Amino acid sequence: MRPLYTLLLYLLTPFVLLRLLLRSRALPDYRRRWNERFGFVPRPEQPVAVWVHAVSVGESLAAMPLIKALVERHGRGRVWVTTTTPTGSARVTEALGDAVLHSYMPYDLPDAVARFIDRIRPGRVVIMETELWPNLFQALKRRRIPLLVANARLSPRSFRGYSRVRGFAADTLACCRVAAQSPADAERFRSLGAPQVTVMGNIKFDLALPEAQLAAGRELRERVGTQRPVWIAASTHEGEELAALQAHAALRRRWPDAVLILVPRHPQRFDEAARTIERQGLAYRRRSEPRAFGDAAVLLGDSMGEIFVYYAAGDAAFVGGSLVDVGGHNVLEPAAAGLPVLFGPRMHNFLPARELLLAREAAVEVADAAGLEPALTRLFEDAALRERMGAAGREAVAANRGALHKLLQELESA
């Protein structure tokens, strides 16, 4: 089946490039560095000890503790990090600078993959979460380069999709070891035919809170107003900004000075979110604007890599991608910051984290957009409840640390 898959990839490549051009109208970086997507990267001056791939911002943030530990272990310039999206690329560059080598991930075309591997010559490869690339995995196997799919998760929905091509999936998974987030994830990988699966937990629990961002968040809260109720709607998608703004307008009927920090998931949607705020008739400021916040009702978080600034400035957090059919985003970050967490019913990409926070009474799941305002009202009415939920979230995250150490041991044993 792999020859058919490869043929389809070559046939689709022109359309993929066209899609990059179309997306570049909103985010110009999509039209840059195309050579990297075909494996044309400079040869490193010294051997690459580990190549780590993290597709976008979420995966890059999850991989950050691992990448930093690998740099500390192997030295600067000996870890190569790839991403797929410009936002992921920007996050890696901003957080790690020249401590790592960085490029886009090559497309899963045999010549592009071979060219890339032969140029960087990695000693080991780590693919974050669930990025299964048949040609890449086979190329690494032929070269006897150890491959680990780390922090691996496989939702029931994704499992059903891969089950339709079970033999093809099994051939791909036979090329790697899988370090699964949970026993349920591990069982789904084994059911697809993965021969080497271990449960190591979720390294997102090992994310260190960035002190500089926490300090900046406290300063932001001072500027917004320490006595004003503040909540965050983070990583929102189309439709969720409107839901958050409508909930906020209802909240302001009881708390006229309440503030919403609205943080869209993708930077190309910042301006769209601003127009949505304007249509709701709410006064707002942008994070990127230097002027004073004043009595504005909304702060638009139009910056990248500052999520803990926003969490440190708030009293509660709603995490997006959960009211729409995306599958949710990282609810462990606001929990680690000590905030009560809200999310919608579509959390299939973060089921273990969802179950943990609900079991610890650190989070509230709302059934739909209409459930946001009552849940927030309850939290704003009860400071003791906010404190209990925030403390429970911090404790839940702290109690589940340790996956990073296991992953490093697994890599060293390859």
- Choice among 36, 45, 59, 306 that is catalytic: 59
CA atoms within 13 A of residue 243's CA, in its CB half-sphere: 27
Q: Dihedral sign, CA of 274, 276, 279, 283?
A: negative
To the nearest 10°, the Cα dihedral for 396, 401, 407, 409?
-150
Q: Give catalytic status of residue 45 as yes or no.
A: no
Token reading at 115: 């060219």
- The residues assigned a catalytic role are 59
